[in-house]
Structure 1
Amino acid sequence: MTPFANALLAWFDRHGRHDLPWQHPRDAYRVWLSEIMLQQTQVVTVIPYFQRFVAKLPSLRDLAAADEDTVLALWSGLGYYRRARFLHKAAQLCVDQHKGELPRDFDALTALPGIGRSTAGAILAQAYGLRHPILDGNVKRVLTRLHGIVGHPGEREVEKQLWLRADEHTPAERTADYTQAIMDLGATVCARTRPLCAACPAQADCVAYRDHLTTQLPTPKPGKAIPTRSTVMLILRDAEGRVLLQRRGTQGVWSGLWSLPEAEDSDSAWREAQRHAQIDDAQSLTAFMHVFSHYRLQIQPLLFDHAAPARVIADNADLRWYAATDLPALGLPAPVRSLLTGLPERTESSLTNEEN
């Protein structure tokens, strides 16, 4: 066991997180689910989602048997919805190919959708106690600073160095605890900004601390301008208070989720609305910005109240009129859910077609 691993485990025994919901019990399904949820998401955000998810779908077989809408509804708000669809598909493959369990074999595990090298290592180490290194964002930050590794961690050669260091430090004993410990250290002590170096068990051997490089390491990704796009979201609401939703395609953001029909501008929004319902007027609601990892989306909601549904909708599986009571069971993007739950009461129109 390396001195770093030994010091880290001693720190973990005193200061580590031992009461996370996926640790009790720490079985493969719960570890896997937590690892997928924790990708690009903080623990404090994940915990309530995890608890709701396992309350509804307590086992891998329950997840495999669930319909996609149920899975996406439980995931709604966590973002990166591709993770949820991969999770669902992987569970179904486990039922079909692995007797309803996550395999203990590394190659079989990484063959499942959404499970990469680090996630597989975390599952095998924490659920089965097998010696496999991990390299999530927190671990990259710890090892980059500990060894003074320069270069963006996403670059191939830098990542290769980090995997070698990760493997070097992963012990054959207490592998599950070590795996949790190094993630905890990155999340609570070796933070991205303002690391608590005085509380770090590796301070004496940390190159970044010694050379005053904690603010420079890890090396940031080269800057890139984030573009802004715009869209008009159509809120068609009928006399019964139902809203027209459209299931998005399999590509792009929010794929597979129920969302609102969209248009490029107000004129095309009117034309699109008239395809789905008889409308008389509209109300322009407050515009807002939603930020994705690679672009910003300026959203202008346009409310068409008292819309009379067109009959053709009944023949389209990806268009449905839903009552407010139906929404909790649907997979909706977080900004769309917030928009629908905050709709004003039905009123007479404030914006006519002619005015538009």
Structure 2
Amino acid sequence: MSFQPLADNLKPLDVFATIADDLRRVETAIEAALSTREKMLEEVSIHLLRAGGKRIRPALVILSSRFPGVSLDKVIDVAVAVELIHMATLVHDDVVDNATLRRGRPTVNAIWDNQVSVLVGDYLFAKSFTLLSETGNNRVVRLMSEVVREMSQGELAQMASYFDVEQTEEDYFKRIAQKTGYLIAEACRLGAVMAGAGEEEVDAVYEYGMGIGLSFQIADDLLDFFGDESTLGKPVCGDLKIGILTLPVIHALHHSPMRGELREIIGTRSIGAAEVERVKEILAASGSFDYAREKAREHIDRAVRALERVPTLTTRPVLKTLADFVVNRKF
């Protein structure tokens, strides 16, 4: 049976209300991990903390660890490490994309420079792996090392695909799995691993996380077309303008009666406001936005079905509600 959304206006804090105290502990631990006497590093760290974030990934570590008898103490450092890795990738991505805004605030590279951004990102990676190694569990270190490798490959694949009108839907899904899916899936898996869950249960929460991750990225790609700068915290249609072709565009390139015109627009490699509006008209007329929404729902459905294989996980209802938030978020 297809997963039926519960509401249209869920927010992360609503979803995470049941673990609010746990997330406060994570936030305190993140602040402690970033504490330093190095002046510049302290300034950048404060800037990153003030930029906030929904903390979805550390929340998933916690939620996926909620098997009977498991103490939060076992997963705090892992939750913090996952968030630091996420922060590091955002800092590096902003350098790659020459981005000046992130969550409505100036990026690190906009305030300081690319050199500082690269080094701060490296520092965050190193700090995260220090935390993971201190768990004494070599498996979590290996798994996260593999995730960082995949994320790097995904970023390179994306750069190689700028303005490429021949890329396929398969190319897209491989890329977003690398850039987004693996880290979210791993956050879930590590929570279950640290809880000592059985391998079938670990596999199930990983499958849930991958479904959430893919749907999250599709929703993010749709928001790039329909959001506004004040809510997105970054320029609207920024991906299209720099040549990142997301699922709606790829669908239209292969299925739209107007795909020839769309190819010509993208082929100019100069996409301004007028071109963006025409592309949006083509995608809407081709049903490409609806197609992307349906694909997001399919991944959410699979994610929710995977939870049926973890009957002892006490937070299953919260994880199902989180799936609702991901597929219906409007900011």
- Asked if TM exceeds 0.5, the reply is no
- Larger relative contact order (Cα-Cα within 8 Å, sequence gap ≥ 6): 2
More strand per residue: 1 or 2? 1
More helix per residue: 1 or 2? 2
What TM-score results when the alignment is normalised by the length of structure 2?
Answer: 0.29
Q: Of the two, which has the highest radius of gyration?
A: 1
What TM-score results when the alignment is normalised by the length of structure 1?
Answer: 0.28
